[in-house]
């Protein structure tokens, strides 16, 4: 049986997620922007929180941890490289590490770029990937600490996963990301269709995440830097994907 996934809006435009194994009762939360919405969802479902997985140190992903563990004591997992900036960890992990959750293997990817030490967590049996502010719906995180080469390497790891993978990112930025993506690929039919669907969802107050990796591969300009049509539209045909990615990120920063 696949793990159950619950998407929870938090703060102004953050998302956190619950991952639950019905057989063992194990429940993990991925990032804790604030405790209230998580506590309410756990109570509503009658679930006991057993684990907290933190992707990176930014306040809007960790500030709710003290309040949450005061009511729901749970084991905290985060990157060893980021441990000095995270709440006290019970499990420190690094790229290539694995651990067991609810009978499934969880794989760790270092996805530095947005920050150095940012991790993504992947449950391959259930096909769920938690990317926070690395790979985002139609975007990627701003490079506050890492380099374009680092982020391109990070995104390339994730792009190689099965296309049906469910991508759980950390923010409701998709509508603005779509507007930018259309400046890079104005003739991409899949992107045009997705942008229209996003507008409809947001008008109805619905979230635009999670997405699927296949959607991102077809429409996310930050994953498509090696695509000749993207490179041609940007006047960069034949240049390295990493350099094209860097230019796309530069344009987004100034969009």
Catalytically annotated residue among 57, 72, 114, 118: 114
Given the residues 57, 61, 72, 118, select the one marked as catalytic: 61
Is 90 one of the catalytic residues?
A: no
As a whole number of angstroms, the distance between CA 215 and CA 229 comes to 17
Residue of 20, 58, 72, 118 marked active site: 58
Any catalytic annotation for residue 56?
yes
Rg (CA), the chain: 18
Binding-site positions for Zn(2+): 56, 58, 60-61, 114, 133, 171
**Which residues belong to the annotated binding site?**
56, 58, 60-61, 114, 133, 171
Task: Identify whether the C-beta of residue 169 lies closer than 8 Å to the C-beta of residue 209.
Answer: yes
The single residue of 56, 57, 72, 118 carrying the catalytic annotation is 56
Active site residue 72: no
Among candidate residues 21, 31, 60, 82, the one labeled active-site is 60
- Render the burial of 229-242: b for 16+ CB within 10 Å, e for the rest: ebbebbebeeeebb
List 20, 57, 72, 171, catalytic entry: 171
* Alpha-helix runs per DSSP H in 23-141: 35-45, 59-62, 65-71
Alpha-carbon distances of 100 from 28, 124, 126, 215, rounded to whole Å: 12, 12, 13, 28
Residues 144, 33, 214: CA angle, nearest 5 degrees:
70
* Phi and psi torsions of 131, nearest 5°: -110, -15
For the chain, count helices (H), then strands (E).
Answer: 9, 14
Active site residue 84: no
58 included as an active-site residue: yes
Please list the active-site residues. Answer: 56, 58, 60-61, 114, 133, 171
């Amino acid at each position: 049986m696949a793990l159950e996934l619950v998407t929870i809006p938090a703060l102004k435009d953050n998302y956190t997620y619950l991952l639950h194994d019905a057989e063992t009762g194990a429940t993990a939360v991925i990032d804790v922007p604030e405790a209230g919405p998580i506590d309410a969802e756990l109570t509503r479902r009658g679930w006991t929180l057993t684990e907290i997985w933190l992707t990176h140190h930014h306040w809007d992903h960790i500030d709710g941890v003290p309040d949450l563990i005061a009511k729901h004591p749970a084991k905290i997992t985060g990157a060893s490289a980021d441990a000095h900036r995270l709440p006290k960890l019970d499990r420190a992990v690094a790229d290539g590490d694995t651990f067991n959750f609810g009978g499934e293997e969880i794989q760790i990817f270092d996805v530095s770029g947005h920050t150095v030490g940012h991790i993504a967590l992947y449950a391959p049996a259930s096909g769920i990937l938690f990317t926070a502010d690395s790979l985002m719906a139609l975007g990627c995180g701003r490079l506050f600490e890492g380099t374009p080469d680092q982020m391109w390497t990070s995104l390339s790891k994730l792009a190689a996963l099965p296309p049906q993978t469910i991508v759980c990112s950390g923010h409701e930025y998709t509508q603005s990301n779509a507007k930018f993506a259309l400046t890079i690929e104005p003739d991409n039919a899949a992107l045009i269709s997705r942008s229209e669907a996003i507008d409809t969802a947001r008008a109805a107050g619905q979230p635009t995440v999670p997405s699927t990796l296949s959607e991102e591969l077809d429409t996310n300009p930050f994953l498509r830097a090696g695509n000749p049509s993207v490179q041609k539209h940007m006047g960069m045909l034949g240049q390295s994907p990493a350099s094209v990615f860097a230019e796309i990120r530069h344009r987004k920063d100034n969009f």
